């Protein structure tokens, strides 16, 4: 009897401790994001009131209105979407085909190709930036969105290949062999059998690629120059440097700049998480 009672008590204590831990964790992880949201609907003068207000005393959507009516700021968003979507399309194209080759074909230097795909991920972006600068100027792509699309693909393709190879490996070979026996080409087997079967993997790779491209900062900062070619992460910093006291607008910009990835994440949470883990652990 007494052991059951102590066990019940210790379990209750465990539960209380757990909830305290979770609350502290949620405060640490979530409070900054909440503060961002709250600051974006406060007037700028209220942000640095001391003592600070938690909920806005004056509710205003001016910061959002200001962004949505500014062609310059909307351009940052348009650029980010263009670059991210182009990178997703091109990465999926290259990644699916390369994953197919690695999963279904034997060819000379296969081991070498595999090793290269894994090891390029270790090359620091800052090291690549210096030659990219020369290369992009030479290709006449400096200060264009193409410079970003091409350089981002270097980071996204290896991950896409690893993921797609892994997914294709889980699909029974008999399925695509059957297409070939019926006289179909290998391309048809890929398109009609493997791609539909690997859809969860493709979604996961697409979402991850979008996030990487949407969030990139270093190349966007260094390989573009004119304001009309800036992406959201760089654009926010530019505005920050110019109107460093417009905090509510900066926060509204940050909220809008985080929405695409947040939405992708909430929608495709499961694929995202399994993809990330698989990528990290298998890679």
Partner 1 sequence: MSATTTRPHTPLPTPERSRTGPRSRRWWRSGLTAYGYLSPTLLVMLVMMAVPVVMVFAYSTLSNVIMVRDPEFVGLDNYATLLGDPIFRKALGQTGIFTVTSVVLHLVLGLTFAMMLNSGLLPRVASALFRVVFILPWVFTASIVVILWQLLLNPNGVINYVLQTLNLISTRVEWFSNPALALGTVIFINVWAGYPFFMISLLAGLQGIPSDLYEAAAIDGAGWRHRFFSITIPQLMPIILAMAMLDFIWNLQQFPIIFLATGGGPLNATETVATYTYNLAFSKRQFSMASASGVVLFLISAIVALFYVRHQKARD
Contacts of partner 1 in 52-91 (CB under 8 A): 52
**Of the candidates 2, 111, 122, 242, which one interacts with partner 1 according to CB under 8 A?**
122
Nearer to partner 1 by C-beta: 85 or 101?
101
**Of the candidates 2, 3, 107, 242, which one interacts with partner 1 according to CB under 8 A?**
107
**Of the candidates 148, 214, 223, 252, which one interacts with partner 1 according to CB under 8 A?**
214
Give pairs for 174-177: CB < 8 Å, separation 24+: 176/104
Which tokens in the block code for residue 139? 């290709």
Which tokens in the block code for residue 76? 């940052």
Task: Give the DSSP per-residue string, 33-88.
Answer: HHHHHHHHTS-HHHHT-SSPPSS-SS---HHHHHHHT-HHHHHHHHHHHHHHHHHH
Nearest alpha carbon to residue 264 among 209, 198, 197 = 209
One-letter-per-residue 3-state SS of 234-247 = HHHHHHHHHCCCCH
**Of the candidates 60, 66, 78, 135, which one interacts with partner 1 according to CB under 8 A?**
135
* Helix, strand or coil, per DSSP, at residue 154: helix
Which range, of 57-65, 67-75, 153-161, 194-202, touches partner 1 by CB under 8 A?
153-161
Which tokens in the block code for residue 162? 């690893």
Rounded CA-CA distance 136/233 in Å is 21
Q: Is 172 in the site for partner 1 (CB under 8 A)?
A: no
**Of the candidates 43, 125, 184, 200, which one interacts with partner 1 according to CB under 8 A?**
125
Nearer to partner 1 by C-beta: 33 or 61?
33
Which residues, 6 or more positions from 65, have their beta carbon under 8 angstroms from its beta carbon?
none
Which range, of 59-67, 69-77, 197-205, 232-240, touches partner 1 by CB under 8 A?
232-240
Length of the chain: 283
Which range, of 55-63, 64-72, 106-114, 197-205, touches partner 1 by CB under 8 A?
106-114
Binders in 9-48 for partner 1, by CB under 8 A: 11, 14-15, 18, 21-22, 25-26, 28-30, 32-33, 35-36, 39, 47-48
**Of the candidates 61, 68, 74, 273, which one interacts with partner 1 according to CB under 8 A?**
273
Which range, of 56-64, 71-79, 117-125, 197-205, touches partner 1 by CB under 8 A?
117-125
Q: Is 144 in the site for partner 1 (CB under 8 A)?
A: no
Query: Which region holds residue 230: left if phi is over 0, alpha if psi is between -120 and 50, else beta?
Result: beta
Q: Is 197 in the site for partner 1 (CB under 8 A)?
A: no
């Amino acid at each position: 009897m007494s052991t059951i009672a102590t066990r019940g008590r210790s379990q209750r204590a465990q539960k209380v401790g757990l909830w305290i831990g979770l609350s502290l964790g949620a405060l640490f992880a979530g409070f900054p994001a909440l503060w961002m949201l709250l600051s974006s609907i406060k007037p700028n003068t209220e942000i640095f009131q001391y003592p600070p207000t938690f909920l806005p005393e004056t509710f205003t959507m001016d910061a959002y209105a200001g962004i949505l009516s500014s062609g310059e700021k909307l351009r940052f968003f348009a650029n980010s979407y263009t670059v991210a979507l182009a990178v997703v399309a091109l990465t999926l194209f290259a990644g699916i085909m390369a994953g197919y080759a690695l999963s279904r074909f034997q060819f000379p230097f296969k081991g070498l190709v595999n090793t290269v795909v894994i090891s390029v991920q270790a090359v620091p972006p800052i090291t690549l930036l210096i030659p990219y600068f020369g290369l992009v100027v030479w290709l006449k792509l400096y200060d264009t969105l193409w410079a970003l699309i091409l350089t981002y693909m270097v980071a996204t393709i290896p991950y896409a290949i690893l993921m797609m190879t892994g997914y294709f490996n889980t699909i029974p070979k008999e399925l695509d062999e059957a297409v070939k026996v019926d006289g179909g080409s290998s391309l048809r087997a890929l398109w009609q059998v493997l791609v539909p079967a690997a859809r969860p993997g493709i979604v996961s790779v697409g979402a991850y690629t979008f996030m990487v491209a949407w969030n990139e900062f270093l190349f966007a900062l260094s390989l573009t120059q004119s304001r009309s070619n800036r992406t959201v992460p760089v654009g926010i910093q530019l505005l920050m440097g110019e109107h460093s006291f417009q905090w509510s607008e900066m926060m509204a910009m940050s909220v809008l700049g985080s929405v695409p990835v947040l939405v992708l994440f909430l929608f495709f949470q499961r694929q995202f998480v399994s993809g990330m883990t698989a990528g990290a652990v298998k890679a």
